Structure 1
Amino acid sequence: MVQRGGEVVSDSDAGGEQEQESKPTPRPVTAAARRERRASARPAGKAAAKDADKARPAKAASSTDGATKAEVKKGRATPKRDRKEKKPSLVARLVRFAREVWAELRKVIWPTRNQMVTYTSVVLVFVAFMVALVYLLDFVFRKGVFWLFG
Protein backbone atom coordinates (compact mmCIF):
# COMPACT_ATOMS: atom_id res chain seq x y z
CA MET A 1 0.00 0.00 0.00
CA VAL A 2 1.24 3.47 -0.95
CA GLN A 3 -0.14 6.69 0.47
CA ARG A 4 -0.48 9.49 -2.03
CA GLY A 5 -2.06 12.88 -1.28
CA GLY A 6 -4.02 11.59 1.69
CA GLU A 7 -5.27 8.63 -0.34
CA VAL A 8 -4.26 5.08 0.22
CA VAL A 9 -3.55 3.37 -3.09
CA SER A 10 -2.74 -0.29 -3.61
CA ASP A 11 0.65 -1.26 -5.06
CA SER A 12 -0.91 -2.37 -8.31
CA ASP A 13 -2.76 0.94 -8.74
CA ALA A 14 0.34 2.92 -7.80
CA GLY A 15 2.34 1.13 -10.47
CA GLY A 16 -0.29 1.86 -13.09
CA GLU A 17 -0.36 5.51 -12.23
CA GLN A 18 3.40 5.76 -12.40
CA GLU A 19 3.37 4.40 -15.92
CA GLN A 20 0.77 6.96 -16.94
CA GLU A 21 2.57 9.82 -15.23
CA SER A 22 5.93 9.10 -16.87
CA LYS A 23 6.08 11.21 -20.01
CA PRO A 24 8.93 11.46 -22.49
CA THR A 25 11.40 14.18 -21.59
CA PRO A 26 10.57 17.45 -23.31
CA ARG A 27 12.83 18.78 -26.04
CA PRO A 28 15.52 21.08 -24.57
CA VAL A 29 14.82 24.76 -25.19
CA THR A 30 18.11 26.40 -24.37
CA ALA A 31 21.43 25.81 -26.07
CA ALA A 32 23.02 24.80 -22.77
CA ALA A 33 20.34 22.16 -22.22
CA ARG A 34 20.88 20.82 -25.75
CA ARG A 35 24.65 20.57 -25.18
CA GLU A 36 24.09 18.77 -21.90
CA ARG A 37 21.68 16.32 -23.52
CA ARG A 38 24.14 15.64 -26.37
CA ALA A 39 27.02 15.15 -23.92
CA SER A 40 25.05 12.60 -21.94
CA ALA A 41 24.19 10.71 -25.13
CA ARG A 42 27.77 10.21 -26.39
CA PRO A 43 30.60 8.35 -24.69
CA ALA A 44 32.84 10.53 -22.56
CA GLY A 45 36.61 10.63 -22.70
CA LYS A 46 39.32 8.94 -24.72
CA ALA A 47 38.85 5.55 -23.10
CA ALA A 48 35.25 5.36 -24.30
CA ALA A 49 36.32 6.47 -27.79
CA LYS A 50 38.96 3.72 -27.91
CA ASP A 51 36.36 1.16 -26.85
CA ALA A 52 34.07 2.42 -29.60
CA ASP A 53 36.90 2.07 -32.14
CA LYS A 54 37.57 -1.50 -31.03
CA ALA A 55 33.93 -2.34 -31.65
CA ARG A 56 34.20 -1.24 -35.30
CA PRO A 57 35.33 -3.82 -37.82
CA ALA A 58 38.77 -3.28 -39.34
CA LYS A 59 38.98 -2.36 -43.02
CA ALA A 60 39.71 -5.27 -45.28
CA ALA A 61 42.87 -5.27 -47.34
CA SER A 62 42.63 -5.00 -51.09
CA SER A 63 42.95 -8.32 -52.85
CA THR A 64 45.15 -7.03 -55.72
CA ASP A 65 48.53 -5.98 -54.30
CA GLY A 66 47.89 -6.62 -50.66
CA ALA A 67 47.71 -2.84 -50.25
CA THR A 68 44.92 -1.25 -48.27
CA LYS A 69 42.35 1.04 -49.85
CA ALA A 70 44.06 4.10 -48.34
CA GLU A 71 47.30 3.32 -50.16
CA VAL A 72 45.49 2.72 -53.44
CA LYS A 73 43.51 5.94 -53.00
CA LYS A 74 46.67 7.98 -52.43
CA GLY A 75 48.05 7.22 -55.87
CA ARG A 76 51.77 7.56 -55.20
CA ALA A 77 54.34 6.66 -52.61
CA THR A 78 55.27 9.11 -49.91
CA PRO A 79 58.56 10.82 -50.84
CA LYS A 80 61.53 10.26 -48.55
CA ARG A 81 62.45 13.14 -46.34
CA ASP A 82 65.99 13.55 -47.59
CA ARG A 83 64.89 13.60 -51.23
CA LYS A 84 63.77 17.06 -52.39
CA GLU A 85 61.02 17.68 -54.90
CA LYS A 86 62.24 18.87 -58.28
CA LYS A 87 61.56 22.56 -58.79
CA PRO A 88 60.40 23.78 -62.18
CA SER A 89 62.82 26.01 -64.06
CA LEU A 90 63.07 29.73 -63.37
CA VAL A 91 61.25 30.59 -66.61
CA ALA A 92 58.40 28.18 -65.80
CA ARG A 93 58.03 29.67 -62.32
CA LEU A 94 57.98 33.24 -63.71
CA VAL A 95 55.37 32.30 -66.31
CA ARG A 96 53.22 30.68 -63.62
CA PHE A 97 53.59 33.76 -61.41
CA ALA A 98 52.56 36.09 -64.27
CA ARG A 99 49.57 33.85 -65.07
CA GLU A 100 48.42 33.89 -61.44
CA VAL A 101 48.86 37.68 -61.17
CA TRP A 102 46.81 38.17 -64.33
CA ALA A 103 44.07 35.88 -62.99
CA GLU A 104 43.93 37.84 -59.72
CA LEU A 105 43.79 41.19 -61.55
CA ARG A 106 40.77 39.95 -63.51
CA LYS A 107 38.97 39.44 -60.19
CA VAL A 108 39.55 43.05 -59.06
CA ILE A 109 36.58 45.41 -59.13
CA TRP A 110 38.10 48.66 -60.31
CA PRO A 111 36.63 51.95 -58.97
CA THR A 112 34.87 54.40 -61.28
CA ARG A 113 36.25 57.88 -61.90
CA ASN A 114 33.84 59.47 -59.38
CA GLN A 115 34.77 56.92 -56.71
CA MET A 116 38.45 57.51 -57.35
CA VAL A 117 38.09 61.30 -56.98
CA THR A 118 36.09 60.83 -53.77
CA TYR A 119 38.60 58.40 -52.26
CA THR A 120 41.55 60.62 -53.19
CA SER A 121 39.97 63.72 -51.65
CA VAL A 122 39.14 61.84 -48.44
CA VAL A 123 42.73 60.63 -48.15
CA LEU A 124 44.16 64.12 -48.80
CA VAL A 125 41.86 65.72 -46.18
CA PHE A 126 42.80 63.05 -43.63
CA VAL A 127 46.54 63.51 -44.29
CA ALA A 128 46.22 67.31 -43.97
CA PHE A 129 44.36 66.88 -40.66
CA MET A 130 47.04 64.53 -39.29
CA VAL A 131 49.85 66.90 -40.35
CA ALA A 132 48.11 69.78 -38.58
CA LEU A 133 47.56 67.65 -35.44
CA VAL A 134 51.20 66.56 -35.29
CA TYR A 135 52.38 70.16 -35.87
CA LEU A 136 50.09 71.41 -33.06
CA LEU A 137 51.30 68.74 -30.60
CA ASP A 138 54.92 69.45 -31.53
CA PHE A 139 54.38 73.19 -30.93
CA VAL A 140 52.72 72.60 -27.53
CA PHE A 141 55.42 70.18 -26.35
CA ARG A 142 58.21 72.49 -27.58
CA LYS A 143 56.73 75.46 -25.64
CA GLY A 144 56.29 73.24 -22.55
CA VAL A 145 59.88 71.99 -22.64
CA PHE A 146 61.30 75.51 -23.13
CA TRP A 147 59.15 76.82 -20.26
CA LEU A 148 60.19 73.94 -17.97
CA PHE A 149 63.94 73.89 -18.77
CA GLY A 150 64.41 77.51 -19.80
Structure 2
Amino acid sequence: MKQFLKSAAKVSAVSAIACGLAFVSTLSASAQTKKGLEGSYVGGSFQTGSGQTNFEVYGRYDVRQLPISVRGSVNVADFSGETFTQFAPSVTYDLPISEKANAYAGGGLAFGEGDSTAFLRGGAETELATNVVVFGDLIVPLDDDVDPGFAVGLGYRF
Protein backbone atom coordinates (compact mmCIF):
# COMPACT_ATOMS: atom_id res chain seq x y z
CA MET A 1 0.00 0.00 0.00
CA LYS A 2 2.86 2.38 0.86
CA GLN A 3 4.44 1.75 -2.56
CA PHE A 4 1.11 2.50 -4.27
CA LEU A 5 0.76 5.81 -2.39
CA LYS A 6 4.31 6.85 -3.36
CA SER A 7 3.61 6.07 -7.02
CA ALA A 8 0.29 7.91 -6.90
CA ALA A 9 1.99 10.97 -5.36
CA LYS A 10 4.62 11.02 -8.12
CA VAL A 11 2.04 10.70 -10.88
CA SER A 12 0.02 13.50 -9.26
CA ALA A 13 3.08 15.77 -9.05
CA VAL A 14 4.01 15.19 -12.69
CA SER A 15 0.39 15.78 -13.75
CA ALA A 16 0.27 19.03 -11.76
CA ILE A 17 3.44 20.28 -13.47
CA ALA A 18 2.08 19.38 -16.92
CA CYS A 19 -1.31 20.98 -16.26
CA GLY A 20 0.30 24.12 -14.86
CA LEU A 21 2.56 24.54 -17.88
CA ALA A 22 -0.34 23.89 -20.26
CA PHE A 23 -2.40 26.54 -18.47
CA VAL A 24 0.44 29.08 -18.58
CA SER A 25 1.09 28.36 -22.27
CA THR A 26 -2.55 29.03 -23.17
CA LEU A 27 -2.39 32.33 -21.31
CA SER A 28 0.82 33.38 -23.04
CA ALA A 29 -0.30 32.16 -26.49
CA SER A 30 -2.76 35.03 -26.82
CA ALA A 31 -0.22 37.64 -25.71
CA GLN A 32 2.63 39.21 -27.65
CA THR A 33 5.83 37.20 -27.89
CA LYS A 34 7.59 37.47 -24.55
CA LYS A 35 11.26 36.95 -23.97
CA GLY A 36 11.05 35.73 -20.39
CA LEU A 37 14.11 35.57 -18.18
CA GLU A 38 17.24 35.49 -20.31
CA GLY A 39 20.81 34.79 -19.31
CA SER A 40 22.64 32.22 -17.27
CA TYR A 41 23.03 32.21 -13.52
CA VAL A 42 24.69 30.39 -10.64
CA GLY A 43 23.54 30.29 -7.04
CA GLY A 44 22.50 28.19 -4.13
CA SER A 45 19.31 26.62 -2.89
CA PHE A 46 17.88 24.67 -0.01
CA GLN A 47 16.38 21.36 -1.07
CA THR A 48 14.02 19.32 1.04
CA GLY A 49 12.91 15.75 0.47
CA SER A 50 13.16 12.31 2.07
CA GLY A 51 13.05 13.93 5.51
CA GLN A 52 16.28 15.89 4.88
CA THR A 53 17.06 19.53 4.11
CA ASN A 54 20.31 20.16 2.23
CA PHE A 55 22.15 23.03 0.60
CA GLU A 56 23.05 22.71 -3.07
CA VAL A 57 24.96 24.71 -5.66
CA TYR A 58 22.67 25.33 -8.63
CA GLY A 59 23.20 26.74 -12.11
CA ARG A 60 21.41 27.49 -15.35
CA TYR A 61 22.96 27.86 -18.79
CA ASP A 62 20.61 29.66 -21.20
CA VAL A 63 20.74 28.29 -24.77
CA ARG A 64 20.05 31.63 -26.48
CA GLN A 65 18.69 30.45 -29.83
CA LEU A 66 16.31 27.85 -28.37
CA PRO A 67 13.71 27.92 -25.58
CA ILE A 68 15.75 25.44 -23.54
CA SER A 69 18.21 25.63 -20.68
CA VAL A 70 20.78 23.25 -19.30
CA ARG A 71 20.50 23.16 -15.52
CA GLY A 72 22.53 21.40 -12.91
CA SER A 73 23.04 21.07 -9.21
CA VAL A 74 25.62 19.64 -6.86
CA ASN A 75 24.19 18.47 -3.57
CA VAL A 76 26.30 17.45 -0.60
CA ALA A 77 24.13 15.66 1.95
CA ASP A 78 24.79 14.17 5.36
CA PHE A 79 22.73 11.03 5.98
CA SER A 80 23.27 9.36 9.36
CA GLY A 81 26.82 10.63 9.67
CA GLU A 82 27.84 9.72 6.11
CA THR A 83 28.42 12.40 3.49
CA PHE A 84 27.12 11.85 -0.05
CA THR A 85 27.67 14.02 -3.12
CA GLN A 86 25.13 13.97 -5.92
CA PHE A 87 25.20 15.64 -9.34
CA ALA A 88 21.90 16.34 -11.11
CA PRO A 89 22.18 17.77 -14.65
CA SER A 90 18.97 18.34 -16.62
CA VAL A 91 17.57 19.93 -19.76
CA THR A 92 14.40 22.01 -19.48
CA TYR A 93 11.95 23.69 -21.82
CA ASP A 94 11.53 27.33 -20.78
CA LEU A 95 8.15 29.00 -21.13
CA PRO A 96 8.10 32.81 -20.73
CA ILE A 97 5.54 34.03 -18.21
CA SER A 98 6.46 37.72 -18.27
CA GLU A 99 9.34 39.97 -19.32
CA LYS A 100 11.65 38.59 -16.61
CA ALA A 101 10.07 35.30 -15.53
CA ASN A 102 9.91 31.72 -16.86
CA ALA A 103 8.19 28.49 -15.99
CA TYR A 104 10.15 25.40 -16.99
CA ALA A 105 9.88 21.64 -17.16
CA GLY A 106 12.26 18.90 -18.20
CA GLY A 107 14.20 15.92 -17.04
CA GLY A 108 17.62 14.71 -16.13
CA LEU A 109 19.72 12.12 -14.36
CA ALA A 110 20.92 12.33 -10.76
CA PHE A 111 24.08 10.36 -10.04
CA GLY A 112 26.85 10.17 -7.51
CA GLU A 113 27.95 7.69 -4.91
CA GLY A 114 25.68 4.67 -5.14
CA ASP A 115 22.64 4.52 -7.38
CA SER A 116 21.57 6.89 -10.12
CA THR A 117 18.00 7.83 -10.98
CA ALA A 118 16.19 9.71 -13.72
CA PHE A 119 13.99 12.58 -12.60
CA LEU A 120 11.51 15.18 -13.83
CA ARG A 121 12.05 18.84 -12.91
CA GLY A 122 9.53 21.65 -13.04
CA GLY A 123 9.65 25.11 -11.61
CA ALA A 124 9.68 28.85 -12.06
CA GLU A 125 12.29 31.60 -11.97
CA THR A 126 12.17 35.38 -11.97
CA GLU A 127 14.49 38.33 -11.55
CA LEU A 128 14.08 39.69 -8.03
CA ALA A 129 16.46 42.65 -8.46
CA THR A 130 19.10 43.57 -11.04
CA ASN A 131 20.94 40.29 -11.81
CA VAL A 132 19.44 38.55 -8.74
CA VAL A 133 17.25 35.56 -9.58
CA VAL A 134 14.90 33.65 -7.29
CA PHE A 135 13.81 30.16 -8.35
CA GLY A 136 11.86 27.17 -7.13
CA ASP A 137 12.03 23.56 -8.35
CA LEU A 138 9.93 20.47 -7.88
CA ILE A 139 12.06 17.37 -8.46
CA VAL A 140 10.22 14.10 -9.02
CA PRO A 141 12.53 11.04 -9.16
CA LEU A 142 11.33 8.18 -11.33
CA ASP A 143 12.71 5.71 -8.78
CA ASP A 144 10.08 4.48 -6.31
CA ASP A 145 12.65 4.36 -3.49
CA VAL A 146 13.29 8.13 -3.60
CA ASP A 147 10.82 10.79 -2.47
CA PRO A 148 10.08 13.96 -4.47
CA GLY A 149 11.97 17.07 -3.40
CA PHE A 150 11.47 20.80 -3.52
CA ALA A 151 14.18 23.46 -3.78
CA VAL A 152 14.08 27.24 -3.36
CA GLY A 153 17.10 29.42 -4.01
CA LEU A 154 18.80 32.61 -5.16
CA GLY A 155 21.19 33.07 -8.04
CA TYR A 156 23.42 35.70 -9.65
CA ARG A 157 22.66 36.25 -13.35
CA PHE A 158 25.47 36.99 -15.80
- How would you bin the TM-score normalised by the shorter chain? under 0.3
Output the TM-score relative to the length of structure 2: 0.18
Give 1 or 2 for the bigger CA radius of gyration.
1
Q: Name which structure has the greater RCO, CA cutoff 8 Å, separation 6+.
A: 2
Normalized per residue, which structure has more helix?
1
Normalized per residue, which structure has more strand?
2
